[in-house]
Structure 1
Amino acid sequence: MTSASEAPEPDIAVVPHDPAWSGRYDAERATILGATGALFVAIEHVGSTAVPGLLAKPVIDIMAAVERLAEASAALDRLGDLGYRLAPTGMRNRLFLRKRAPGDACAFHLHIVEHATWHERNERLLRDHLRAYPEDARAYGALKQRLAREHARDGLAYTKGKTAIIQSIVDRARDALGLPRVDVWED
């Protein structure tokens, strides 16, 4: 499967948490696993839609782990059949795929990483921290809402505007686990 040009991303909209997101993740997880067999050794719902009560863009982020990233290449055609398109991000040691169904307000992002890094993935640490600290989730949600208004058509500015708060939260989570601090803005 190759990267495909798609319709432009819709304006950024941050909306109240939808309890249906969890069910959408469960259904998509089952679809992915049905298409890829035993390829993934771990798969989880990450991102803001995985945090009950958190304001979020209606994008369900899924993180899946393989033993070696090269193994995932064999499944790209099968994931393409499900509507996933490889999106270049410049991030090392990760495959990033997007899926958007026509007329569906909700999209899916699939992050494929190596299992050796699973326990220290910033996306998982951020999700777990926001679930455990509702005051941080509220502050993060308020920032996202403001940034969505200010940068509705500029996804990069929206994302970069969140970097400082994400870095602060991830640093605290990594400190608590005895993990070294890393820059959350992956190159």
Structure 2
Amino acid sequence: MAEYPREITERFHGTPEQTATALIGEPPGRWQTVVIEDHDPSWADRYTAARDGIRQALGDRILSIDHVGSTSVPGLAAKPIIDIDLLLSGTGDESAYVPDLERAGYRLLLREPWWHGHRMLISAAEDVHLHVWPPGAPEPIRHRLLRDWLRTHPSDRDLYAVTKRRLAADPDGYTLSKNDVIDQILARAFAATPVTSPDGGLGVRGDHREERAHHPLAG
């Protein structure tokens, strides 16, 4: 069985200097606390509504769009924030997509060109995190692999939920602290999932063509 490339299996670590310059404007008020809720089936509908608005704003510029993060996993407790991975042909030219997304109600919050060109925009209600990546970025592959594994492995889904509830009392350390269990779960997924194509066997497809197509996910 072929192995996943290191850029997929190994977590990216930005330098403190890079992290310090990433934030644009004021951080969301929701970042002050961590509230973990039982899974809400309406989260799927919220994703669909957000996806449709993004499609209307960007049209054929979208290469792929996916619901990722904890709210995309039925039965998984999560922060009620919808994470979306959006692939565009290039993220460096923000003038080609940020103004249109701003008119759709988003604002640019994070600029991290060193992290595979990542940008993150946030909805006006601060309840959607829109992660923008160029084609070939490894992080969306990790996100989809984790999502699909948790959807089909209840024991790891429950382990992740218990871990998040335990860590929720520390908003400042929550994101970094849960990385350890994410890496443990992903290690099992990497070992069990065969690599069948250069991007890790998952393709770059999202649901833009109905299956064509640090700051971990919020949940």
Q: How high is the TM-score relative to the length of structure 2?
A: 0.71
Identity among equivalent positions (%) equals: 35
- Structure 2 unmatched ranges of 5 or more: 1-22, 201-213
Q: How does 1:3-82 map to 2 (within 5 A)?
A: 3-5=24-26, 8-9=29-30, 10-70=32-92, 73-82=95-104
Question: Structure 1 residues 96 and 120 mapped into 2: Cα distance closer, same or farther (>3 Å)?
Answer: closer
Equivalent pair of 1:85/1:99 in contact (CA under 8 Å): yes
Match of 2:151, as an amino acid? R
Structure 1's 77 and 7: CA in aligned 2 closer, same or farther, altered over 3 A?
same
Is there any run of 5+ residues in structure 1 with no aligned partner, and where? 180-184
**Aligned with 1:13: secondary structure?**
coil
- In the alignment, does 2:170 pair up with 1:170? no
Query: Residue type matched to 1:11 in 2?
Result: T
> Structure 2 counterpart of 1:108, which letter?
V
C-alpha displacement of 1:174: 2.5
Q: Return the alpha-carbon distance in structure 1 between the equivalents of residues 60 and 138 of structure 2.
A: 17
User: Shift in Å at residue 144 of structure 1?
Assistant: 0.5
Shift of 1:69: 2.4
Deviation by residue 1:86-123 (Cα, 9 ceiling, x = unmatched): 2226461211111142xxxx700001112223696211
Q: Match for 2:121 among 76, 85, 97?
A: 97
Q: Could you say what the CA RMSD is over the residues aligned between the two structures, in angstroms?
A: 2.5
Confirm whether residue 127 of structure 1 aligns to residue 147 of structure 2.
yes
Q: Distance in 2 between matches of 1:119 and 1:160?
A: 16
**CA–CA distance in 1 between the matches of 2:194 and 2:215?**
20
- Matching of residue 141 in structure 1 with residue 165 in structure 2: no
In the TM superposition, residue 131 of structure 1 has moved relative to its aligned partner by: 0.4
Alpha carbons 1:3, 1:85 under 8 Å: kept: no
- Counterpart code for 1:5: E
Aligned length: 173
Q: Which structure has the higher relative contact order (CA within 8 Å, separation 6+)?
A: 2
TM-score after normalising by structure 1: 0.82
